Amino acid sequence: MIVLLLLVTRGGTPPFAYRSGYIPQYDVLARTSFLVATEADQSHQFREGDMLVRGGRPLSTGDIQKLYAEHTSLNSQQGWGQLLARVMASVGIYVLLTVICGWFLHIHHRLLLEHTGRLAVLAASVVLVVLLSRVGSSDAWRAESIPLILFGMTLAIVFDRPLALLLTVAVSLVVSLSLGFSLPKYLLLASSVVVPTLMVTRIRSRTRLIHIGVVSGGIVLVVTLCISGIAGQSFGLSHWTHVSLVDEGDLLTHWSFAQRVLYGAAWYGVCVVLAGFLMTGLLPFLERVLDFQTDIRLLELGDAAHPVLRQLAQRAPGTYNHSINVASIAEAAAESIRADGLLVRVASYFHDIGKMFKPEYFIENQSTAGNQHDSLVPAMSTLVIVAHVKDGANLARQHRLPRSIIDLLEQHHGTTLVEYFFRQATLQHENAPDSRRPDETNYRYPGPRPQTREAAVLMMADSVESACRSLTDPTPSRIESLVGEIGLKRLLDGQFSECNLTLHELNAIQESLVKSLTAVYHGRIKYPSQQTA
């Protein structure tokens, strides 16, 4: 990535002062001799020490032409030692930024470092953003902040705001150094990126991003006015108001500068608003390409009209009803520990979709026709039961469900034991001592164990909802005892050892599940006609 950044930013550019509308504070003298082509196809010779531009006046097109010509002449006179020193200084800064960002990822996003594909996409995105910012920084646009804002908002949505802030500030520094921005200009650019990135939270509607853009645009406008006042310089599309300044004490000078500053600040505000609109349009595409989900996408997936859920309701109505019940109690349990309740709810709708391939082998879909497992040995029955996890994950991939949903599908049983058929196999061995003792590992789900708190919540909710159906009299005390027993069993079995779930959070989950299940199975007073029912 460092090599790509050097290629993108190689050669550097003239300082930010070499822009139309910029007002140098002091006279600029030539540092070397050079030629400048005039409009009449003639050349004008400038010598070292000649006056190039006057301080206190906005740069004109001719002034910029002279400054660029001087910059080119100075670069051509640099020796290999100076060029090498410049390259090494750039490499040093890029290496330092890479180390800081890498250390942050190592501490807070270690899984991202281990995922080579996503890390490569992130590195390529950094290079692309720098390139787009350089393209958008021309005098015709001055829109170098838009790619950075889109980058920061995307990172805040996909990962979190701390990572987004760190990377966008670092990339803003790279852009500023490569474009020769001054310190006030860098502060302005960083502010334009930080403000909308900080405002990105849960995205539950498409208009939310537009609202963020409008509010952030207003804040950036004020920030630009403040920085312009401190620096005594206008930023943005100030060349729209290219008016020659007169004496410093004249009132026209004051209003001309104020107008220039106001136009520039308004343009930076517009850039932020425009970024909000662009992000709204790009978000569905980014969700597909980067394989992540926002609340908007989760709400869309949770629609009962989704093709997979409709198939599940038709082929396995018992499983569908079970999934709906699990979703309602799992969402509340997840929110009790400040986990992502919406993700858990939507994943609960899909967690048993693999059962639709052989619905008759699962008790909630069996009718009075008999149990299909009566004709199978326990080992074969276990294979059929366990297979619904893999089948469900494959079906989810076919329908392009988000990776986070698929992960919960694969982890919601962890490596738990299929106790019923393991006990049957054990009884058969006891009745036939000459037979082979059943191996417990052959009667467990393949896993992996829950890797997140959301997966742990789904595991608990799925287990207790199924178990409560077997209670003949689901009183609150029996429900509480059952939930506590299942939670302790999963804990001792090591199912929560890889998801950073604390005992306090496990207790909160159990309390929420007991409360929800008690509400579902609450008793009712019978009407007189039902007394004998």
Q: What is the pLDDT of residues 258-288, one digit of tens each?
A: 777 888 889 899 999 999 999 999 988 888 8
Q: Is the pLDDT of residue 248 over 50?
A: no
Q: Is the pLDDT of residue 515 over 90?
A: yes
Q: What is the pTM of this model?
A: 0.77
CA within 13 Å, CB half, 317:
3
Tens digits of residue pLDDT in 27-41: 888 888 888 876 656
CA distance 98 to 79: 29
Q: pLDDT class for 255, splitting at 50, 70, 90?
A: very low
User: What are the residues whose beta carbons fall under 8 Å from the beta carbon of 7, sequence distance 6 or more?
Assistant: none
Give, in order, the Cα–Cα distances in Å from 50 to each of 1, 26, 62, 119, 139. 42, 14, 15, 52, 26
Cβ contact 133:175 at 8 Å: yes
Q: Is it true that the peptide bond before 450 is cis, omega within 30 degrees of 0? A: no
Please state the rounded mean pLDDT for residues 457-475.
Answer: 90
In eight-state DSSP terms, residue 143 is -
Beta-bridge partners for 29 = 51
Please state the rounded mean pLDDT for residues 34-55.
Answer: 78
More confident residue, 13 or 123: 123
Tens digits of residue pLDDT in 145-172: 999 999 999 999 888 899 999 999 999 9
CA distance 111 to 105: 9
pLDDT of residue 368: 64
pLDDT of residue 4: 58
User: What are the residues whose beta carbons fall under 8 Å from the beta carbon of 87, sequence distance 6 or more?
Assistant: 6
pLDDT of residue 117: 82
CA distance 5 to 131: 9
pLDDT of residue 245: 37
Angle at 479 (CA atoms; ends 525, 362), nearest 5 degrees: 100
Within 10 A of 307 (CB to CB), how many other CB atoms are there? Answer: 8
Give the rounded percent of residues in the chain with a pLDDT score beyond 70.
88
In eight-state DSSP terms, residue 35 is E
Q: Is it true that the peptide bond before 448 is cis, omega within 30 degrees of 0? A: yes
Please state the rounded mean pLDDT for residues 303-311.
Answer: 92
pLDDT of residue 242: 40
User: Given this structure, which CATH class describes domain 296-530?
Assistant: mainly alpha
Burial of residue 140, with CB atoms counted within 10 A of its CB: 0-12 exposed, 13-18 middle, 19 or more buried: exposed
Please state the rounded mean pLDDT for residues 327-332.
Answer: 95
Rounded to the nearest 5 percent, the helix, strand and coil shares of the chain are 70, 5, 30
Question: Which H or E run contains 274?
Answer: helix 251-290
Within 10 A of 168 (CB to CB), how many other CB atoms are there? Answer: 27
Report the number of secondary-structure helices (H) and strands (E) in the chain.
20, 4
Tens digits of residue pLDDT in 88-134: 887 888 889 989 999 999 998 888 888 888 888 888 899 899 999 98
Angle at 137 (CA atoms; ends 131, 143), nearest 5 degrees: 100
Cβ contact 435:414 at 8 Å: no
Residues spanned by CATH 1.10.3210 within the chain? Answer: 296-530
CA distance 21 to 495: 65
Q: Is the pLDDT of residue 239 over 60?
A: no
Phi, psi of 15 (to 5 degrees): -55, 165
More confident residue, 529 or 200: 200
> Across the chain, what does the average pLDDT equal?
84
pLDDT of residue 177: 84
Question: Which H or E run contains 52?
Answer: strand 51-53
More confident residue, 382 or 4: 382
Length of the chain: 533
Q: Is the pLDDT of residue 256 over 70?
A: no
